[in-house]
Amino acid sequence: MFLLTSCSQMTLDPSPTYPVCSKTRGFSWSWSNNNMANQGLTYDGCNFFRQRLVLSTLSGKRVKIRNIRSKDDNPGLRDFEASFIRLMDKITNGTRIEINQTGTVLFYQPGLLYGGTVEHECNPQRSIGYYLEALLMLAPFMKTPLRATLKGVTNDQKDPSVDTLKATAIPLMKKFGLDGEGLELKVVKRGMPPGGGGEVLFSCPVRKTIRPVQLTDPGKIKRIRGTAYSVRVSPQMANRIVDSARSILNKFIPDIYIYTDHMKGANSGKSPGFGLTLVAETTSGTFLSAELVSNPQGQGDPVLPEDLGRNCAKLLLEEVYRGGCVDSTNQSLLLLYMTLGQQDVSKALLGPLSPYTIEFLRHIRDFFQIMFKMETQKQEEDSQKGGDKVLMTCVGAGFTNISKTLK
Amino acid sequence: MVINGKLWKRSRTLERSEVMEKKEQKKHQQKQSGPKAERKKSRKQGAEPEKDERKRNPKAFAVQSAVRMARTFHRAQDLKTKKHHIPLVDRTPLEPPPVVVVVVGPPKVGKSTLIRCLIKNFTRQKLSDICGPITIVSGKKRRLTFIECGNDINTMIDLAKVADLVLMLIDASFGFEMETFEFLNICQVHGFPRIMGVLTHLDSFKNNKTLRKTKKRLKHRFWTEVYQGAKLFYLSGMVHGEYQTQEVRNLGRFISVMKFRPLVWQTSHPYVLADRMEDLTDPEAVRVDPKCDRTVCLYGYLRGTYLKNKSQVHIPGVGDFAVADVSFLPDPCPLPEELKKRALNEKERLLYAPMAGVGGVVYDKDAVYIDLGGSHAEHEQEEVRPTTELVQSLIGTHATLDAKMAASKVSLFTGAAALTPEEVEGVGEEPAPVTESLVWDPVTQRERRKAIFTKDEEDEDEEESEERARERNEVKSSKVAPQPKEQFDEDDGAGEDLEDMDEGDESCFGSAGALQWKEGLVRKAAEAFLRQQSAAPNLRKLVYGTVPGDEEEDGEDEEELGGLFRVSRPEKSKRQRADALDCSRYAPDSAHDWDQEEMLDSIRNCFVTGKWEGDTDAATLLKEDEELYGDFEDLETGEVHQGHAGKQESDGEEQEGSGEEEEEGEEEGENLMKTDDDEERKKKRLEKKRRLKERFDSEYDDGDATYFDDLKEEMQKQAELNRAEFEDVDDETRVQYEGFRPGIEGNVGYLQMRVKKHRWHPRILKTRDPLILSLGWRRFQTIPLYHIEDHNGRHRLLKYTPQHLHCGATIWGPITPQGTGFLAVQAVAGTQSNFRIAATGVVLDLDKSVTVVKKLKLIGYPYKIYKNTAFVKGMFNSVLEVAKFEGASVRTVSGVRGQIKKALRAPPGAYRATFEDRLLMSDIVFLRSWYPVSVPQFYNPVTSLLQPVGQKDSWIGMRTLGQMKRDLGVRTQPNKDSLYKPVVRAKRHFNPLHIPRQLQKALPFKSKPKQDQPKGRTPRDLQRPAVIREPHERKVAALLTALSTVHHHKRKKVRSQQHAQHKVFLQQKEREEEQRSRRQKEARKKMYRMLGQKEKKRQRSSLKGAPQDD
């Protein structure tokens, strides 16, 4: 009979007003001064939108983002960003979101991460990977274990695909003590852009704390696995991709197996397409990945599966060249977990930092006051071990999951 | 009498022994043969006796019972496991801050005397008055901070949270007092520090036996409170107003060797026990507006974890503030520099007590240090007044400052009453305008950070501070500080830092430039990498640098164009970046062409098929194995086998050795080289041994290693790593790297807690009565709602806490991690006669919404009844309300269940419902529902330290309704409906059952209404008159009665006789029957036996074959 009501609210204000947090002014002896609310952070522009909201939710600091595409012909938040905000609202309790009428200013006051069973229709402008990356960051710190069903585009050219995240991010999370049968990422249906129609099931257990890691040895690549998928096209496409990809990778290692995954009927989504995901696993359990997807139907020239396979293999080689204990897509996830660890030293060897990661590091400093020690590790000229690496070291913030209920 | 008896006994034994002496004793006969003699013989010969009892006498240790053995083993394991604590990572720095020793006890128990004695014991100095925390150097590796705890509950709570060791003074002549138990309970809630009991006033016992008994009684009571075997010290008596030297020395020894277990809350939160506080506000501003914002400076050692600059802090008893600036200060009470194998000398026994007013004064940048210069100046300090003119004047100013603060009624510390400490806790962070000034003492490797609370940057302040700095330098040069101190100003420090960085990078990248790649393509790749990573000279600068270079340039361009007008040029690059696609993918470098063989070669060794490093290469590993196991000596033949790898190893040694030598320089002579070589070899040998041992351990210990051991080892490793990681980093940078608590804890929200009323608190607690909680660092008043969890997980509101049961409580308060303990008091003002701690508990859950509900019964009345359907009104007010409750189950008071079907149009809020039986119009229908309760958002920090001087313990927050009524003399007006009235129940009147005649006819007789209903009273005219007999008739009647009585008696007698006879007859008959049956049985038995024999015979004969006779 009695239902728990979420006090989340999402309002569209006619004017960009929002309650400004009154600053704590020195020692004032009145008791009204004891407001403990943190001051918010202000950012400009829509880039790194997810980072800001995720870190805000984890740190409890409010965030105001201004000038979102303010000079654009079509100003304001896009549909996929609105969809992302809605997802954040679903997994939290007590979140306050205010957007002005044009959508150029967003105010976000985070609530507590709630979790539970969530179903979300992701906007097909971006793939599910866009939403899933944020969920991966938040999922271990929920009140109840998250069980999210995301519907939309599973693979596209912009974001890391669900297959890649399944092959790289999930083993990475296991290194931080997030194991058990609760951790699962399952592709139920595949959906290609622009139609979408895919479905992904993601479930993750909750943890009170995350343990520090020392990932300084990337190891050597012992096997390469991959998935060549095709939906609503000839099943032969996948085989052609596999052959061309193997032709390049066979020069390095014989242990290659690329699965072909042809989904049919209800599981194949709404649009045709094909693609390849490659994952290289090393002796120390590091996963490096590369992927390539065909152009969406009606956009750009059609791609030959042979070209796609070859290019994807080359991308994997590029990723191997960059090296490190995590591939370039998951750098930020790794750094976040390191930041949220106990107050102990965590270390990780990374390849060159991607622009996204660099911005993420800045955001971590803004939200958690954590700075990383970065040491460039030069590779010897004849070592033949790819490019230079960066050793990232930090002392964890001592973050504890304050949402989790004690029984 | 007893004594006599004993005496008598002793005399008896004496006599007997005398008698024995006289008698010839039997000589001991040595065994010449048998097992005993043989054993002795073998022992004489030098054969080792069997040490193991088990081997010598295996029968005694044989397993008697498997169950018993299992139980013994089980118990042993239980005991072993019980001793384990969860291993924690040891995060204490190499030079830990002073240990906080809190001296607690009821008034007049001797707290100040004990502190004075201990200080005299450690530093040979006398302190006249104990005021504020006193820090001393107690040993080569330990410093102590003593602080006295008064009996104000606020002080007790605050000090229990920061204490490392508690000296609990107990007046033995009086026994335990409530304060002691209150403090113990506070400690239990906020993480249990080490507690040591000290019994004083033992000299008041004249009788030795009473003393002994009292000691024992108090000891056992103390043990039940702390733990079995907790240390209890006895201070037997006073000599010249001080405790006995030897006893104090023993106590001091105990304190200085004591080990402490890290408390979770303390180790995970940064805090400062402020030694000293100073008001930096402009006095003029205070004069103009006594309530103006103040800038206050707090000094103290940082404890717990890392405190970040500009963070949010909480000062217990004052409130939440943002730190304006934190800076290092030189250690006022440093540990001795080098550790020699001797006791501390007089110079090293330092005392730092800024509030107690001892010794000389040293001025820092904006701080006053009291320096004793070691106790070589002891004789001068015997008299408390300093001799130097300068120092005296400075102390004078200090006093006026205090006075000023007192006048403006904001003083935190005045006199003995204001001894309350301020812990500064980092909660959230708040970017505030600050100037950073970090001072670091490189010798002691210890950071002292000064916390200043301000919002505005005041030029005046800076000037003042500069002045002070100058002053301090002067003082220092003239007076103090044996160790060289270095001070970095903020700008200088930062500048140096950057310069260092640049230099490092230059060298770094110089070497990178020097790399000569064989192929042009590969070099291109390397350059591409460098381009990305080193567009700024440093990766650190690239990521965390203040402003990227291009933006700066833009700004300059604009400046150049004109003074007044600026070309409105949209910052295209920046805008684009800000509004670019939010994507985590990293585009590959276009310079890499993976069709080229060189490019492919550049990653060749990233695969297992490539070349391996020396220490993991299979071939090398094989050789190593040989080297480890290759050397052996054949004991039988005496041959010595040498491993082949020995040579290689030495090669490696030389390589490494030469490398090191180069680093060290070439000035060293040959001699040194040789010793180096020796050392090298020794090191190698040790390394080899270690590896062998490791291998051995891994082979043989694995079975024994438990999960606990593994965990412990892991923690140990982590601790080592933590220490090692930032050892060589410059401190300025180090501060930036090392941690900080996330800001989320600074928020306010709903807390769900498990609470239990304290057993000793006399009254139960009422929902919605304000309560003062001590949770985390904070003390605050809030309004709790108590609830209990039903079996279906529902949180049902309670009006009062249960008497001896846990219940839930929900409050609006500061977000604190789950599992944090808290305690509650009803008031902090004044002294109460009874136990002050009202409740204790733990935080379970944090949320932004509440789930507490209370029962709500909605009542309605039927106004129309059709068979099992009824129309009910009065429960709801509108159709919409009904629609929300469609399908809900309802019930009548008489127990008829039903369901709401649909709203009716006519009276608004009426609905149709069906029931399992027909309702009566007199029935009342009700609907049981649960109504969510809202928790009042009331959070009021206890600002007891802001009270005027002398009234620090009189803080009164929100009063309860009852208190207010009592205070204002308001009587409760009871609700009239709630008053009890005599119940008047109208007699229920039932109409007689009317059955139509037609029906009556059809009914069976059984169901027909009977006409012969009992008549009521016979009317008077129908009553028969009483009969009065004549005397004769009476006689006849009497006779007849007598006769009939006789007759009755006779008949009764005959009957009983007959009955007895019949009984006998029955018995006889039974006996006969029995005999007959027995007879028959026997006859039957006989017959059967005969039949059986016959049968057997026949069978036998049939087996034999045909009878020969026949």
- pLDDT tens digits for range B333-383: 888 877 677 777 777 888 888 877 665 554 444 555 555 544 444 443 333
pLDDT in tens, A112-152: 899 999 999 999 999 999 999 999 999 999 999 999 999 99
- Give percent above pLDDT 70 in chain B: 70
Cβ atoms of B274 and B421 closer than 8 Å: yes
**Cβ contact (<8 Å) for A395 and B319?**
no
Residue pLDDT, tens place only, B443-463: 334 333 334 434 333 334 444
Q: Which amino acid is at B456?
A: D
Q: Which DSSP category does B635 fall into?
A: T
- Delimit the domains of chain A by residue range: 7-15+37-113, 221-322, 328-395
- Per the model's pLDDT, the better-predicted residue between B1010 and B1057 turns out to be B1057
**Nearest CA-CA distance, residue A86 and chain B, Å:** 17
Q: State which residue of chain B sits closest to A311, comparing Cα positions.
A: B594
Mean pLDDT over B1057-1077 rounds to 97
- Determine phi and psi for B1039, rounding to 5 degrees: -60, -45
Q: Which residues of A touch B516 (CB under 8 A)?
A: 381
pLDDT classification of B59: cutoffs 50, 70, 90: confident
Q: How do residues A186-219 score in pLDDT, each as one tens digit?
A: 999 999 989 999 999 999 999 988 989 999 999 8
Q: Give the pLDDT score at B627.
A: 64
| pLDDT confidence band for B512 (50 / 70 / 90) | very low
What residues contact residue A88 under an 8 Å CB cut-off, 6+ apart? Answer: A53, A57, A95, A97, A134
The whole-number pLDDT of residue B546 equals 55
Backbone phi and psi for residue A64, each to the nearest 5 degrees, phi listed first: -125, 125
Per-residue pLDDT of A345-355, as tens digits, reads: 899 999 999 99
Cis peptide before B862 (omega within 30 of 0): no
The rounded distance, in Å, linking the Cα atoms of A371 and A392 is: 10
Q: Quick one: what percent of chain B has pLDDT higher than 90?
A: 38
The per-residue pLDDT for B1108 is 53
DSSP per-residue codes, B81-142: HHT----------SSPPPEEEEEE-STTSSHHHHHHHHHHHHHS---SS--S-EEEE-SSS-
Residue ranges and CATH numbers for the domains of chain B are 99-263 (3.40.50.300), 747-850 (2.40.30.10)
Residues of chain B with C-beta less than 8 angstroms from the C-beta of A212? 718
What local confidence, expressed as pLDDT, does residue B54 receive?
81
Q: Which residue in A345, A359, A362, A404 has the most chain B C-beta atoms within 10 A of its own C-beta, making it the best mutation to test that interface? A: A345
* pLDDT of amino acid B631: 58
Most confident range, picked from B25-34, B475-484, B852-861, B1022-1031: B852-861
Q: Which pLDDT does position A38 carry in this prediction?
A: 53
Contacting B residues, span 747-806, partner chain A, CB-CB under 8 Å: 747-749, 794
Query: Comparing B670 with B62, which gets the higher pLDDT?
Result: B62
Closest of B873, B850, B849 to residue B861, by C-alpha:
B873
Contact across the interface for A38 and B739, Cβ inside 8 Å:
no
What whole-number distance in Å separates Cα of residue A80 and Cα of residue B46?
A: 92
Q: How high is the pLDDT of residue B744?
A: 52
* pLDDT tens digits along B749-802: 899 999 999 999 999 999 999 999 999 999 999 999 999 999 998 999 999 999
Token pair for B178: 């409530």
Q: State the CB neighbour count (10 A cutoff) for residue B268.
A: 18
pLDDT at B556 over 50: no
Q: Exposed/middle/buried for B632, CB within 10 Å: 0-12, 13-18, 19+?
A: exposed
Q: What is the pLDDT of residue B47?
A: 63
The whole-angstrom separation of Cα B424 and Cα B453 is 11
Contact across the interface for A33 and B319, Cβ inside 8 Å: yes
Name B435's Cβ contacts closer than 8 Å, sequence gap at least 6: B325, B457, B462, B490
- pLDDT at A24 exceeding the cut of 50: no
Q: Report the pLDDT averaged over residues A68-90.
A: 93
Set of chain A residues whose Cβ sits within 8 Å of the Cβ of B575: 45, 71
DSSP tally for chain A: helices H, then strands E? 8, 19
Q: What is the pLDDT of residue A60?
A: 85
Option in A347, A352, A394 nearest B533 (CB): A352
Supply the pLDDT for residue A100: 93
pLDDT at A335: 95
What is the average per-residue pLDDT within B488-508? 38
Determine the pLDDT at residue B606. 87
B410 to A29: CB separation less than 8 angstroms, yes or no: yes
Is the pLDDT at B439 greater than 60? The verdict is no
Give the pLDDT confidence score for residue B384 in this predicted structure: 36
Q: Hey, which of A11-20, B347-356, B652-661 has the most confident mean pLDDT? A: B347-356
What is the average pLDDT value for chain B, to the nearest integer?
76
ipTM higher than the 0.85 cut: no
Please identify which residue in the block is written with the tokens 């069976």: B1004
B338 vs A241, higher pLDDT? A241
Residue with tokens 């009276």: B907
Mean pLDDT value across residues B859-884? 95
Average pLDDT over residues B139-167: 93
Q: Which residues are within 8 A (CB) of A129 and not within 5 positions of it... i.e. 6 or more apart?
A: A156, A159, A160, A161, A162, A164, A165
More confident residue, B580 or B497: B580
- Residue of A136, A215, A249, A369 for testing the chain B interface, max B β-carbons within 10 Å: A369
Q: How many CB atoms lie within 10 A of CB A286?
A: 24
Please judge whether A329 and B586 are an interchain contact, meaning their C-beta atoms are less than 8 angstroms apart.
yes
Question: Which has the higher per-residue pLDDT, B159 or B56?
Answer: B159
| CA gap A141, A132 in Å, rounded | 15
Residue of B nearest to A284 (CA): B608
Decide: B250 and B284 in contact? Cβ < 8 Å.
no
CB proximity B540 to A under 8 Å: yes
Distances (CA, A) of B353 to B345, B572, B1064: 20, 61, 114
B410/A contact by beta carbon, under 8 A? yes
Taking the CA of residue B333 and the nearest CA in chain A, the distance in Å comes to 28
CATH topology of domain A221-322: Dihydrodipicolinate Reductase; domain 2 (3.30.360)
Kindly list the strands in the beta sheet with B319-322, ordered across the sheet, starting from the edge strand earlier in the chain. Answer: B319-322, B311-315, B425-429
**pLDDT(A51) > 90:** yes
A75 to chain B nearest CA, in Å?
11
Given a cut of 80, is residue B406 above it in pLDDT?
no
What residue ranges in A154-220 does DSSP mark as E strands?
184-189, 198-204, 214-215
Q: Which of B30-39, B187-196, B479-488, B902-911 has the lowest mean pLDDT?
A: B479-488
pLDDT band at B730 (very low <50, low <70, confident <90, very high): low
How many Cβ atoms from other residues are within 10 Å of residue B90's Cβ? Answer: 14
DSSP single-letter state for residue A324: B
Handedness of CA B242, B247, B252, B254 (dihedral sign): negative
Q: Does B729 sit within 8 Å of A39, measured CB to CB?
A: no
Q: How close A237 comes to chain B (CA, Å)?
A: 23
Is B594 in Cβ contact with A314 (below 8 Å)? yes
For B910-926, the pLDDT digits (tens) are 999 999 999 999 999 99
pLDDT of amino acid B1080: 97
